[in-house]
């Protein structure tokens, strides 16, 4: 009996203690922090940590600092699913992830199922880098938000800007990785052909980051004699392809999506000069205020995915600013609804969420590699010069028919 009284007393004390402390908002980063994609995963995690530090510097949320917990998915979907369960057990409200569409696909399904089974304890997922179309197509759902571009946005921007500057040419070649993202890129290049006034002289899909020698692909590319090569390749697949093309002395322009991945410019050297990239953000396209602030906080200018990932947290911060749970329970559905209605001003233009499929309407920056750039990449004298910033309304594509979103309010 005495023992029961003690338990009752301690639990009462615990309860009153929790009533004194408001419930903190918990953010989980489920990212590739070990394994082959560490380099990209680490950058996403950096940017989210930076963004959350901004929220906390402004007083946090719900009367408490926002907590960030990092989970290592080791670059694979099964590990990500495990880490999602752990995050739920830890009481995480919002999940961030960026590296790999496959992992994003796993997480968005996990989130959807979790929310169906646990009404009132919803979790939302902010996708920073999974660009597969199906995430806002067949798999689209209310609690998933994509804060990055997709293949059609990048390709349309590239085609528009390169055509204007006279670098597009009439013959295009598409070489991509054989999975959802690469196939999306290939389809986008086909769709944009009529608008861009080019003919597709060759298409290749190849294994993802397994190929050591790209010379045979370059031989095949050469025989098609293209002016422009569209590729969504990233990591080794882009670097090796570009180097092999440079070594063969071919005079083609590359239209890429991931040329700004750290190490690419230094490794490809002069070969990379004149090639194009379309992405979410580039320091050179702005007045530099954000870049300086980021450098002050982290020691380096924002590179690769860091810029747009920080803006995703910025948009979240703005959404949180419209809410007040008065120190009580956090309602994730309200946060998601507030985020839907948020238009966040980034240094390259406004970013807003399209309610039908939760794709963000966002500007796309097209740049090209030049010598003596304002923000040199990888410690070289080369870097990206902005060719054009395509505004969000112009870059966006129609909602996919396959998206049938179940809204909690309907």
Interface segment toward another protein; rule CB under 8 A; list 57-65, 258-266, 331-339, 390-398: 258-266
**370 is a site residue for another protein (CB under 8 A):** no
Q: Please list every residue from 298 through 357 that binds another protein, using CB under 8 A.
A: none
Closest by alpha carbon to 306, among 280, 285, 276?
Answer: 280
Cα–Cα distance between 202 and 119 in angstroms, integer? 50
- Yes or no: say if 177 and 208 are a contact pair by the CB < 8 Å rule: yes
Subset of residues 380 to 399 that bind another protein, contact rule: CB under 8 A: 380
CB 374, min distance to another protein, A: 20
Q: Which of 30, 159, 172, 240 binds another protein (CB under 8 A)?
A: 240
Indicate the SS3 state at residue 78. helix
Report the site for another protein in 160-219 (rule: CB under 8 A). 178, 204-207, 209-213, 215-219
| Total residues binding another protein (CB under 8 A) | 40
Nearest distance in Å: CB 254, another protein: 16
Site mask for another protein (CB under 8 A), range 3-42, x = bound: -------------------------------x-x-xx--x
Contacting residues for 144 by C-beta, under 8 A, at least 6 apart:
108, 111, 112, 124, 125, 127, 135, 136, 358
Between 63 and 76, whose beta carbon lies closer to another protein? 76
**Least distance between another protein and beta carbon 25 (Å):** 29
CB of 267 or CB of 318, closer to another protein: 267
Region from 23-31, 160-168, 257-265, 400-408 binding another protein, contact rule CB under 8 A = 257-265
Closer to another protein by CB, 223 or 410: give it. Answer: 223
Please report, in angstroms and rounded to a whole number, the separation of the first and last CA atoms in the chain. Answer: 51
78 binds another protein (CB under 8 A): no
The angle at the Cα of 152, spanning 382 to 246, to the nearest 5 degrees, equals: 35
Q: Do residues 113 and 123 lie in contact, with contact meaning Cβ atoms separated by under 8 Å?
A: no
The CA distances from residue 297 to 22, 66, 72, 313, in Å, are: 28, 17, 23, 15
Q: Which of 119, 166, 379, 398 binds another protein (CB under 8 A)?
A: 379
Q: Residue 143 in contact with residue 117, Cβ under 8 Å?
A: no
d(CA 193, CA 70): 42
CB closer to another protein, 227 vs 356 = 227
**Among residues 149, 236, 337, 360, which is the contact residue for another protein, using CB under 8 A?**
236
Task: Work out the number of other CB atoms within 10 angstroms of the CB of residue 197.
Answer: 12
């Amino acid at each position: 009996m005495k023992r029961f009284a003690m338990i009752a007393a301690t639990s009462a004390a615990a309860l009153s203690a929790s009533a004194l402390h408001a419930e903190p908002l918990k953010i989980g980063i489920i990212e590739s922090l070990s394994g082959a994609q560490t380099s990209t995963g680490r950058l996403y995690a950096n940017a989210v940590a930076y963004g959350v530090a901004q929220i906390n510097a402004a007083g946090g949320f719900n009367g408490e600092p926002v907590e960030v917990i990092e989970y290592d998915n080791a670059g694979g979907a099964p590990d990500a699913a495990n880490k999602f369960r752990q995050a739920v057990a830890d009481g995480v409200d919002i999940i961030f992830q960026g590296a790999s569409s496959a992992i994003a696909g796993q997480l968005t399904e996990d989130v959807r199922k979790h929310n169906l089974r646990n009404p009132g304890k919803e979790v939302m997922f902010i996708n920073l880098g999974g660009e597969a179309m199906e995430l806002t197509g067949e798999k689209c759902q209310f609690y998933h938000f994509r804060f990055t571009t997709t293949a059609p946005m990048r390709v349309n921007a590239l085609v528009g800007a390169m055509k204007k500057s006279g670098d597009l040419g009439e013959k295009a070649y598409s070489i991509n990785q054989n999975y959802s993202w690469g196939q999306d890129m290939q389809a986008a290049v086909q769709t944009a052909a009529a608008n861009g006034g080019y003919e597709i002289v060759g298409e290749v899909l190849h294994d993802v980051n397994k190929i050591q020698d790209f010379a045979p692909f370059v031989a095949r590319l050469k025989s098609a004699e293209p002016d422009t090569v569209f590729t969504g390749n990233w990591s080794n697949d882009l670097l090796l392809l570009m180097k092999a093309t440079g070594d063969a002395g071919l005079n083609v322009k590359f239209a890429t999506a991931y040329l700004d991945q750290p190490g690419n410019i230094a490794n490809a050297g002069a070969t990379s000069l004149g090639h194009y990239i379309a992405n979410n953000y580039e320091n050179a396209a702005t007045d530099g205020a954000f870049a300086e602030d980021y450098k002050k906080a982290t020691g380096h200018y924002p590179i690769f995915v860091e810029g747009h990932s920080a803006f995703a947290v910025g948009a979240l911060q703005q959404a949180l600013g419209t809410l007040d749970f008065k120190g009580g329970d956090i309602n994730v559905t309200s946060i998601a609804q507030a985020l839907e209605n948020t238009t966040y001003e980034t240094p390259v233009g406004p970013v807003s969420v399209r309610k039908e499929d939760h794709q963000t309407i966002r500007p796309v920056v097209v740049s090209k590699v030049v010598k003596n750039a304002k923000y040199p990449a990888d410690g070289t004298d080369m870097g990206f010069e902005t060719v054009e910033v395509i505004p969000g309304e112009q870059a966006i594509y129609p909602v996919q028919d396959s998206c049938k979103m179940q809204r909690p309010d309907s």
